């Protein structure tokens, strides 16, 4: 497996991977009925393309396929730069989006992040935002997601970020982030995210029962978990 930084020139290949593996399978997307496997969601594709433009994302490519002249993307982690005010602006734009499923998902994510404000808690001017983690279903169980998160931490450190943040919506990604030293800052049980009539807005299937807002602090070029291991 080869790991490469994602540039704008890779956007089409990355989006094709996401259409086949992430768009329909991610717990919130599935609960909202956002799209079917292989199909497109314009709003979600735009969200992904914005992250790619920050040039902080990483992809895994099948080296054997590449030897045959085919660049097969088998895993991606889309990372962006988040600044104070970005989430509030994104929330205000949701009303103009005509995709009801997309609005449900990002209304939850944006409002939760505004309520549990990492910027205020850690007093940082920007954050490294891990937005999407996806691995091809045929390549899972090979440690690709772990390597993508590990490399994301390295990219954040190299670019001088003090804080990484991730909204992990499923149990598997939550375990991966915690294994790399991310800590839970806040949680939102899906069963308690209801409308005015008490109906669950996003009926996410088990074993995914909650969204976790996780963070990882980087201090003086060394991660907190690395410091603890050296003691």
Dihedral in degrees, nearest 10, Cα atoms 23, 24, 29, 35: 90
Residue range 63-100, pLDDT digits in tens:
876 655 567 899 999 999 999 999 999 999 999 999 99
Residue 43 pLDDT greater than 80, yes or no? yes
User: 14 vs 64, which has greater pLDDT?
Assistant: 14
Closest CA to 60 of 138, 124, 112, 123: 138
Q: Within 74-216, where are the H helices?
A: 86-93, 100-115, 118-122, 144-158, 171-179
> Ramachandran region of residue 198, left (φ > 0), alpha (ψ -120 to 50) or beta?
left
Hey, what are 103's tokens?
């609005």
- What pLDDT, on the 0 to 100 scale, is given for residue 229? 40
Greatest CA span in the chain, whole angstroms? Answer: 57
- What pLDDT, on the 0 to 100 scale, is given for residue 66? 61
Domain boundaries, the chain: 2-217
* Pair 186, 215: CB distance under 8 Å: no
CATH code, residues 2-217: 3.40.630.30
Residues 118-129 have a mean pLDDT of 97
């Amino acid at each position: 497996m080869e790991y490469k930084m994602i540039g704008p020139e890779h956007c089409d290949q990355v989006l094709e991977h996401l259409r086949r593996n992430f768009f329909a399978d991610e717990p919130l997307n599935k609960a909202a009925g956002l799209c079917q496997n292989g199909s497109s969601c314009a709003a979600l594709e735009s969200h992904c393309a914005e992250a790619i433009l920050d040039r902080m994302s990483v992809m895994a490519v099948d080296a054997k396929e590449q030897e045959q002249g085919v660049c097969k993307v088998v895993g991606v982690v889309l990372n962006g730069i988040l600044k104070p005010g970005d989430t509030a602006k994104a929330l205000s734009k949701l009303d103009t989006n005509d995709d009801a499923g997309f609005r449900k998902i990002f209304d939850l994510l944006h409002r939760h992040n505004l309520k549990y404000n990492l910027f205020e808690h850690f007093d940082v001017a920007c954050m490294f935002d891990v937005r999407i983690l996806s691995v091809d279903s045929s390549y899972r169980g090979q440690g690709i997601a772990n390597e993508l998160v590990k490399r994301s931490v390295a990219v954040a450190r190299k670019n001088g970020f003090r804080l990484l943040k991730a909204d992990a919506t499923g149990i598997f990604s939550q375990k991966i982030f915690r294994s790399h030293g991310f800590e839970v800052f806040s949680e939102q049980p899906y069963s308690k995210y209801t409308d005015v009539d008490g109906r669950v807005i996003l009926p996410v299937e088990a074993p995914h029962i909650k969204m976790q807002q996780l963070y990882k602090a980087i201090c003086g070029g060394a991660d907190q978990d690395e410091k603890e291991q050296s003691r």
